[in-house]
């Protein structure tokens, strides 16, 4: 029997993943750490929201009181200048570009003067029917659930100090595309967003974001060729000095309690990121089959 051909039952997968998050970090791990958080939606009732407005306000308040909030574009540099006795440094990011980012997240960010970065799926913002329908199906919701930001809202957010990057045009798995299609998905949104903002755009986030599943070294090369300088992945660990600027790790924020948030900032879940980067692909398919559905 070939183990690699059989999926682990959900209970076993959950137990394995949970075991990777329960190792307490040494007390010094939090000092000078640089962490990037990835949100999607902030909404009172959406089933896929990253946080309710109330929870998001609590999280940002905790971060403001215990960490130094920086821009995503500053994160990698910060790893090279942080001191061991510094508080943790945290960058807040959002993917996709939902209207609730403006309605519910922006007021909290402005209140606490947090310079968040928003990675826009530009075909969604442009309300291209094919892209909107793709989001509706993947989120298993209505149009109202995936309603995007308007360009007027994007400009007001930029005036409020928020930073913007791209999240491709239609949110595909870039690693699964041919080179020509991937190049278009990287270049087209950059051109449109630069025209809308009137400034150069150098940051972006990979859809789905897991290394080796959703982007590869070839994807990173193409991103550099398109003019991007910083790329955001979804790898559950803090940044390291030697990280590639086009593969900056981020933690998903999924309705985290303050205890769960603190564990991510402190380092007790970093082993998950090592797993995502180094696990044999056959084993990754067993433990996280959802990563291979796109």
What is the DSSP secondary-structure string of 57-112?
A: HHHHHHHHHHSEEE-GGGHHHHHHH--TTSPPEEEEEEEE-BTHIIIIIHHHHHHT
Q: Identify whether the C-beta of residue 47 lies closer than 8 Å to the C-beta of residue 141.
A: yes
pLDDT over 70 at 24, yes or no: no
- Of 5 and 292, more confident: 292
Percent of the chain with pLDDT over 90: 82
- What are 74-88's pLDDT values in tens digits? 999 999 998 877 899
pLDDT of residue 251: 98
Sorting pLDDT into bands at 50, 70 and 90, what band is 22?
very low
Domain extents in the chain: 29-292
Integer Cα distance of 95 and 208 in angstroms: 10
Least confident of 24-38, 86-100, 192-206: 24-38
Sorting pLDDT into bands at 50, 70 and 90, what band is 23?
very low
Q: 3-class DSSP state for residue 231?
A: strand
Sorting pLDDT into bands at 50, 70 and 90, what band is 2?
very low
pLDDT of residue 6: 45
- What are 120-148's pLDDT values in tens digits? 999 999 999 999 999 999 999 999 999 99
| Residue ranges with strand state E in the chain | 34-39, 68-70, 89-96, 117-120, 163-166, 203-205, 230-232, 251-252
pLDDT of residue 14: 53
Sorting pLDDT into bands at 50, 70 and 90, what band is 233?
very high
Q: At what angle are helices 53-66 and 258-266 packed, to 10 degrees?
A: 40
pLDDT of residue 30: 66
pLDDT of residue 85: 77
- What are 185-197's pLDDT values in tens digits? 999 999 999 999 9
Q: Identify whether the C-beta of residue 107 lies closer than 8 Å to the C-beta of residue 114.
A: no
Q: CA angle 85-91-94, nearest 5°?
A: 165
pLDDT of residue 3: 35
pLDDT of residue 27: 45
Least confident of 1-5, 16-20, 153-157, 269-273: 1-5
pLDDT of residue 103: 98
Sorting pLDDT into bands at 50, 70 and 90, what band is 201?
very high
Query: Which tokens in the block code for residue 114?
Result: 């947090």
Q: What are phi and psi of 69, to 5 degrees?
A: -90, 125
Look over the chain and give the mean of its residue pLDDT values, rounded to a whole number: 91
pLDDT of residue 10: 60
Q: Identify whether the C-beta of residue 119 lies closer than 8 Å to the C-beta of residue 167.
A: yes
Sorting pLDDT into bands at 50, 70 and 90, what band is 31?
confident
Cα-Cα end-to-end distance for the chain: 27
CA distances from 109 to 13, 92, 114 (A): 36, 10, 5
Integer Cα distance of 272 and 291 in angstroms: 14
- Of 26 and 240, more confident: 240
**Topology given in CATH for the domain delimited by 29-292:** TIM Barrel (3.20.20)
């Amino acid at each position: 029997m070939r183990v690699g051909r059989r999926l682990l039952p959900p209970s076993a997968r959950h137990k394995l993943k949970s075991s990777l998050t329960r190792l307490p970090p040494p007390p010094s791990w939090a000092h000078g750490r640089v962490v990037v958080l990835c949100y999607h939606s902030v909404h009172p009732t959406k089933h896929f929201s990253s946080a309710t407005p109330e929870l998001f306000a609590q999280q940002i308040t905790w971060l403001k009181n215990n960490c130094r909030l920086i821009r995503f574009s500053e994160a990698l540099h910060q790893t090279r200048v942080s001191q061991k006795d510094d508080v943790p440094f945290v960058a807040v990011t959002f993917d996709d570009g939902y209207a609730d980012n403006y309605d519910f997240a922006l007021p909290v960010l402005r209140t606490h003067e947090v310079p968040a970065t928003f990675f826009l799926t530009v075909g969604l913002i442009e309300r291209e029917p094919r892209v909107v329908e793709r989001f509706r199906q993947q989120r298993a919701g209505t149009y109202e659930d995936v309603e995007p930001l308007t360009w007027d809202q994007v400009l007001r957010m930029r005036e409020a100090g928020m930073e913007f990057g791209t999240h491709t045009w239609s949110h595909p798995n870039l690693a699964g595309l041919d080179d020509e299609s991937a190049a278009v998905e990287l270049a087209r949104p950059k051109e449109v967003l630069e025209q809308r903002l009137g400034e150069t755009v150098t940051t972006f986030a990979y859809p789905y974001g897991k290394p080796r599943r959703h982007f590869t070294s070839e994807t990173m090369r193409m991103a550099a060729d398109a003019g991007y300088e910083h790329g955001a992945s979804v790898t559950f660990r803090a940044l390291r000095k030697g990280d590639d600027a086009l593969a900056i790790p981020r933690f998903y924020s999924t309705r985290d309690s303050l205890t769960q948030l603190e564990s991510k900032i402190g380092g007790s879940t970093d082993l998950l990121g090592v797993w995502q980067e180094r696990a044999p692909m056959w084993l990754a398919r067993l433990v996280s089959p959802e990563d291979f559905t796109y």
